[in-house]
Structures are given as structure tokens and as C-alpha cells.
Structure 1
Amino acid sequence: MTADPSRPAAVVVGGTGCVGRRFCAALTDAGYRVYAVARHRPSRPVAAEMLAMDVAATPVAELARTLAELRPAAVVNATGGWGLAEGETRDGALAVVAPLTEAVRRLPGPARFVHVGSVHEYGPVPRDGWITEETEPAPPTPYARTKLAESRHVLELIRAGRLDGVVLRLANTVGPDPAPESFFTVVATRLHRAGAEGIELNVTDVERDYVDSRDAASAVLAAIGDRGADPLLNIGSGRALPIRELLRILVAAGGLPASAVRMRTGAVASRGADCTRIDISRARRLLRWRPRYTVAESMRATWDSVRAADDAGMTAGTTSSIG
């Protein structure tokens, strides 16, 4: 297993996931030879060579040898997801990040490490406030606490000069290849199946910043290329929209009448704060990065993915929680 010497190599751990596969595609388009690391081979193609490996179960020495054979210029950690148990411990949270960062540190050549965190690490903020990199994290959920433990581990290594890397705290994503359990994936799937009958949906008064997964991928590329950037950067669209407005944009993007979703005010299961208003000025300034896709374009891409997946029998979940 030897990297193509004519192109730099990049490794994406979690490269078969909803955002990981976008990172693989962007890196491939940028000229990298990309390796996607995951425990299982995906049911759909990924723009990368597959490496079936359980990072958490692989000894660090073996993991380091495998990475050394590829000679990566960059390693991106895109692992993590919803559904972690309340009893998740800090050691458990670092099951992937700790051995992965140690393996990267043992590489014979320099490799830029990009850890994809989550803005949910900050926890709730006042509705009229902005989430900046200086916002003190106070995550209320197991998922967010786990992501925070991972990010802090990576940041400690970077600030101690033991790792060349950056942490990108990513907003909720929308666009191509959305997570099956995400709110808009579930709503679009229900609408696709309901047809002209439409659906009823409980909504509440929340505002969310959603970033297109392709914009997230371009931020990863920028972070790989700029080694002088601050080690912690927020990545989002830079604005929070009411969930009702986002739903109307989703419905229109699907070519459906506004009446296709009958919204009712009611309780919903929400994994996020009431408002996620993310300040992305640091990423704009230091990475010279900005989001390029409009919400309407992102929702159309979500629809394209949902229709293709649903028609192929790859159904989404039934939850209607707001992430």
C-alpha cells in the first residue's frame, strides 16, 4: 500500500460518512490521492481508495505504520455522530482521537491534522448572542460533551507544539449526502413518500445555522493549506434562520406547494440550543474562506440525495427532532 508519488496523499478517517465523503470528493478534486478509513466498506461509492480499519481497536504502532506507508500530507478526522449514551466517559470519547493523533505524531514526515468538531460543543447561548471561538463551552448532551473532549485533546497537543493541526467546529450541515437521521432528511423523505397529501409537522421557535457540506469541505481544504491559522475556527453559514423559514425553503426546493407541510406549534425532541448564531469572521479572515452555497441550493441538493436514496430503498429514520 504505497501512495502515488506524483500526488500528495490525504487520509480521511470517517470518510464514508455524510460529511466525510464530501471531504473525500473535495480533496480528490484538489489533486490529492485520497484514502477513506472506515470500519466497514460503504454501500455507495466514495471518491477515495478504501481502507477498512477500526481505528479505536488498532494498536497505535500498527496504525502509525499504515499511515506511514501512505505518506499523507494531511489527515482529517471526520468521525463522530449522534446517539452516544449518557454514560459515555472521557476515555471512551477519545477512543479514536487519542490513538489517531499519536499515530500522526509518529509519522516520519509532516502531516497536517484537521479535526472536525461541532458547534454543539459550546452548548446553549443567549438568543441574541453570537457563538465565537471565545465562547465558553458548556455542552448539555452526551454527543456534545464527547466532541468537546476530542477537540480539547487535539487543541492541547497543538498548543503544546506536539501536533501540526487545527480544530474546525462545524455547524449543522445540509446539502448532498445528508445524514439519514438529520431533521431535513427525515422531513424530505416523509414528503417524498406522502406526495400530494403532504404532512403535518410539529415545529418550535428555534433558529439554526446550517452550512452546506460542500462549503464545509472547502473549509477543510483551506485549513490544510494554511498552517499559520489559529488552531480553533468556527465553520458555518454565518447566519441563523428560523426553522419555519428553513422548512419553507426545503418545500420550495422540492418543487412542492407551501401547503405540503402543515406546521403546528408543539413540542419537539431537539438536540441543540434554541439559537445557534455562529460568528465565522475568524475563518473568513485567517483562511480566506467563505460559504458559497445559498440555503436554497443546499436544500435542492438535499432533495436530490433524499430522492435517490429513498428510491433505492435506503430509507431515512422516522425521528423528527431538530438537530
Structure 2
Amino acid sequence: MRVLVAGATGAMGKQLVPRLTGAGYAVFAMTRHGSAEPSLVELGAVPIVADALDRRQVEAAVREAKPDVIVHQLTAIGHIDTRHFDRSFAATDRLRIEGTDNLLAAGRAAGVRRFVAQSNGAFTYARTGGPVKTEQDPLDPAPVKPMAAMIAAVRHLEDAVLGADWTEGIVLRYGAFYGPGTSMAPGSAQLDAIGKGKFPIVGDGGGVWSFVHVADAAEATVAAIQKGSRGVYNIVDDEPAPVAEWLPEVARKLGARKPMRVPRWVGRLAAGEAGVVLMTELRGASNAKAKRELDWRPAHPSWRQGLRVS
């Protein structure tokens, strides 16, 4: 089977490509940067340099790869500044809209039979009802303004992929990544802030987060390529947890003091409206469907055991 991975040099791509080549797939790794070609070759992939926002380049890449499956892992998420949440996700929003459309158009022309796309199950569910959501639950219909563009881009991606009746569209709603190359890798700015006491609990800290180790997410993606059917899958670990629970535990692992608590109004001044939502209103996600249909089990069933801080 021939697989084209778009976004092959990101944190997920670096985990996914060697798993696919190791499973015997012919992997074509699409990257914007020619400098990444040697590392992709070392992983056993055929590098293809193309800008996902240039439709002609994407069409040429797909014609060259002749894939049976396209795996869309395009993101451009660096440090997330919750005070300017919309700016932090602007480049990724564009990839989720224009990049998705370009890949789908090229895939349709090439007769691709399966299209697997990265979505977000960490920050996007409706902030009403119970603390843990399934794939049947809606995305947030009324997000706060700083998060509106991000959720609109996720909705565009999901509607486009699931609405493509010429292929089998599969959407993977990943939880918040931790592990190598992620924003919660050892030595990362986020863990550094927690260790220095610069990451307080806002309000009641009732926002529920769902995490997933990036290696487990890659394993689930391979399973989706092999066994998935049209639809959405939450790819998260077994233990959704409120901020008031996971943040002090991470601080403890770092040998830091217990995080201070600040009222919502102080949190809004320091972290913006999006930061308050992430701390107090977020909903987690259930992985029951992925376990059942993909026969997938995270090797790191809880962030408690899986998260390494050094």
C-alpha cells in the first residue's frame, strides 16, 4: 500500500512515518522544507517537497506518490499564547482550511481510497453537559471570540473530509499531545512555566483535559489506516482530568511548589479569555470508540504514568 503523509516532519509525522515504513508501507513524506529530505530518507520514506498551500504543488506531489491513502497531519502550532489564542492558531487554521481543500482535490483526481486527517479533540467540544464527550457530541457552537477561528477551521476540515463521498474519510480528534517534540516534552516552555510557578490554577480549575502520548496517537493513526471506517474517532488516553487535578500533579513531578490559585478575573487579565476557558470550562473526551473499532489501546493509559518531565 502506498501512503502519502502530509506534515511528515512534525511531532506526529516523526512518530508516524517510521511506524508506517516498519509495517511495510511505501511511504511518501510531503514536506515544505528541502532540508528535511535526508532525515525522511533515513526513516525509509520517499520525500516530496511541496507547499500544502500551493494547489499545483500538492497536485504534483499526489501524482508523484500515487497513494492509496493520504494522511493529513498538517499543523503549524508552536508556543500557544492564550492571550492571543487566535494568532497562535492562525497558520494552522489556514492549513486546516486551504491545506485540507488542496489535499482533497488532489486526492479526488488521483482516486485516493482513504483520507485520514488530524483534528482536535482537546479544545473543541461544546462546554455544556457532562465532563467527558463522545464523537456524537457537538463541537462548541458558541466559542469565545479568541477560539472561534480555530474551531471554525476544525469544523471546516471535518465537514470536508467526512463529506467527501468519493473516498473513505476518517477524522482523528487527538487529545493534548505530550511526549517527544510536543509542547509538553521535557524541557519545554510549558513544563518550565509550571516548574517556575508561572502556571496558576484559574478559578475552580474545573476544565477537563484529555491527553495522549504522541507515540500512542501515531499507533492509533496506523490502526485507523488499517481498520478505520468513515467517521470520527477520539484519540485520547484513559484518564480525562480537570486542571485542578493534573496541574498540581505535574508540578509535583517537577519538584515544584503546588500551583497558586487565582480568581477568574485575574486569570482573564493574565491569560486572556481563552486561557480562562481552558482552565475552567473545557470538556474531555472518551476513547471507547477507538478502542472498540480500531482495536487500539494506549501504551500510556494515563498521563500520570506516561508524562516524563526530565
Superposed counterparts of 1:151-190, under 5 Å = 151-157=158-164, 161-179=165-183, 185-190=188-193
Distance across 1 between alignment mates of 2:34 and 2:307: 28
Counterpart secondary structure, 1:214: helix
Distance across 2 between alignment mates of 1:170 and 1:264: 29
* Aligned-pair CA distance for 1:187: 3.3
Q: What TM-score, normalized to structure 1?
A: 0.73
Alpha-carbon spacing, 1:216–1:151, altered in 2? closer, same or farther (3 Å): same
Deviations 1:202-234 (A, max 9, x none): 12303311111111111111111125x242222
Distance across 2 between alignment mates of 1:251 and 1:34: 40
For residue 67 of structure 1, what is the amino acid of its counterpart? V
Distance across 1 between alignment mates of 2:223 and 2:90: 36
Matched positions, count:
276
Counterpart secondary structure, 1:10: strand
* Aligned-pair CA distance for 1:138: 2.2
Q: Name structure 1 gaps, 5 residues minimum.
A: 1-7, 305-323
1:15 aligns with 2:19: no
**Map of 2:298 onto structure 1:** 291
Counterpart secondary structure, 1:149: helix
**Does the 8 A contact of 2:125 with 2:283 survive in 1?**
no
Deviations 1:149-193 (A, max 9, x none): 111111111xxx31122111111111121137x9993232357xx
Distance across 1 between alignment mates of 2:230 and 2:103: 21
Superposed counterparts of 1:70-89, under 5 Å = 70-82=65-77, 84-85=86-87
Superposed counterparts of 1:114-133, under 5 Å = 114-119=116-121, 120-126=123-129, 128-133=130-135
**Does the 8 A contact of 2:234 with 2:287 survive in 1?**
yes
For residue 167 of structure 2, what is the amino acid of its counterpart? L
* Aligned-pair CA distance for 1:13: 0.9
The correspondence for 2:261, drawn from 255, 262, 265, is 265
**Map of 2:231 onto structure 1:** 231
1:27 aligns with 2:31: no
1:56 aligns with 2:57: no
**Does the 8 A contact of 2:74 with 2:95 survive in 1?**
no
**What's the Cα RMSD here?**
3.2
Distance across 1 between alignment mates of 2:32 and 2:104: 18
**Bigger fraction of residues in helix:** 2
Counterpart secondary structure, 2:74: coil
Distance across 2 between alignment mates of 1:201 and 1:122: 23
* Aligned-pair CA distance for 1:30: 2.2
Q: What TM-score, normalized to structure 2?
A: 0.76
**Does the 8 A contact of 1:239 with 1:278 survive in 2?**
no
Distance across 1 between alignment mates of 2:133 and 2:157: 19
Percent identity at matched positions?
A: 22
* Aligned-pair CA distance for 1:102: 1.4
* Aligned-pair CA distance for 1:131: 1.1
Distance across 2 between alignment mates of 1:51 and 1:41: 8
Q: Name structure 2 gaps, 5 residues minimum.
A: 78-84
* Aligned-pair CA distance for 1:246: 2.5
Distance across 1 between alignment mates of 2:167 and 2:245: 42
Deviations 1:61-96 (A, max 9, x none): x533432332323211011345545999x9985211
**Does the 8 A contact of 2:183 with 2:190 survive in 1?**
no
**Does the 8 A contact of 1:167 with 1:233 survive in 2?**
yes
